[in-house]
Amino acid sequence: MTKKEKLEIVRGSGNIFRDFGYPNADIEQLKAILAAQIIGILDDRKLSTRKAEKLTGVPHADFVRIRKPSLKRFTVDRLISILNKLDQQVDVKVKVRPRPRQKAKAEAAIQI
């Protein structure tokens, strides 16, 4: 970038998937939050994907996909189930409101 170019700063919505126009942005955001929590727990406990498999019964390949992250094969309830197997309680708070100039949407906040 040269000195003459101006940098434009754009405020995001808080959901990068929505900002980039993903069709299921709220679900993708929720899955990303849950996956980040799983990765954080594995890191905090210094668990390899193989050790996590032995501890939870969740296949090693699933933990590899979560770490990548490649979340297309995962549903929200599957990710919550994995967190439960890692001895985590997941509380979901749902807030529904109209989208600006569009139909209604649902947002979810997760506490772990």
CATH architecture of 17-111: Orthogonal Bundle (1.10)
Q: pLDDT tens digits, the chain, 112 residues: what are they?
A: 566 788 888 788 888 898 889 999 999 999 999 999 999 999 999 999 999 999 999 999 999 999 998 999 999 999 999 999 999 999 989 888 887 765 555 565 666 6
pTM: 0.78
HEC string of the chain equals CCCCCCCCCCCCCCCHHHHCCCCCHHHHHHHHHHHHHHHHHHHHCCCCHHHHHHHHCCCHHHHHHHHCCCCCCCCHHHHHHHHHHCCCCCEEEEEEEECCCCCEEEEEEEEC
